[in-house]
């Protein structure tokens, strides 16, 4: 039996480090035809994975799987409901705003590596962060 995932709600925010992309600012979002600043997909993904990581912890982070599909933008300061639902082969977690479903995450607690991995093995990447990432 799978540990249940709990729904939660959040008021969407854009993190300052995303302001390098104009669409994540109010002015840039308006110029691109949106009703405001578009919240970064990585932030929406974090909202979706919170109930999964909370319920399944490091076991899922190191051995589970997730696939996200974005359907509509989430705007800064919008109320977003995160709604998990158990299905036959795992769980789905939806991000919903007043307009409907914005993103859907499909997760499985126990993922497996492909039997025949393709591509080349990547070398570890070490990056030094500058002061704009502090705090």
> Which residue, 112, 1, 103, 104, is CA-closest to 65?
112
80 close to 10: Cβ distance less than 8 angstroms? yes
CA distances from 111 to 17, 33, 76, 81, 129 (A): 31, 39, 33, 26, 31
Helix (H, G, I), strand (E, B) or coil at 102: strand
- Confidence (pTM): 0.79
Q: Kindly state the percentage of the chain with pLDDT values over 90.
A: 62
With tokens 């696939």, the residue in question is 67
Each residue's pLDDT tens digit, 8-61: 999 999 988 888 899 999 999 999 999 999 999 999 999 999 999 999 998 888
Cα–Cα distance for residue pair 100/103, rounded to 1 Å: 9
Each residue's pLDDT tens digit, 55-81: 999 888 888 889 999 999 999 999 999
Q: Would the pLDDT of 135 be above 60? A: no
Residues in the chain: 135
Each residue's pLDDT tens digit, 4-13: 899 999 999 9
Q: What's CA 73's distance to the chain center, in Å?
A: 12
């Amino acid at each position: 039996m799978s540990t249940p995932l709990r729904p939660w709600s959040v008021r969407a925010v854009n993190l300052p480090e995303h302001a390098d992309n104009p669409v994540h600012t109010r002015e840039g979002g308006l110029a691109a035809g949106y009703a405001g600043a578009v919240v970064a997909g990585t932030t929406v993904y974090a909202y979706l994975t919170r109930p999964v990581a909370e319920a399944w912890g490091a076991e899922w982070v190191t051995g589970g799987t997730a696939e996200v599909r974005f359907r509509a933008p989430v705007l800064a300061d919008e109320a977003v409901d995160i709604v998990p639902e158990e299905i036959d082969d795992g769980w789905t977690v939806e991000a919903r705003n007043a307009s409907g479903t914005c993103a859907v995450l499909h997760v499985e607690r126990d993922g497996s590596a492909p039997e025949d991995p393709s591509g080349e093995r990547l070398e570890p990447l070490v990056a030094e962060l500058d002061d704009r990432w502090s705090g």
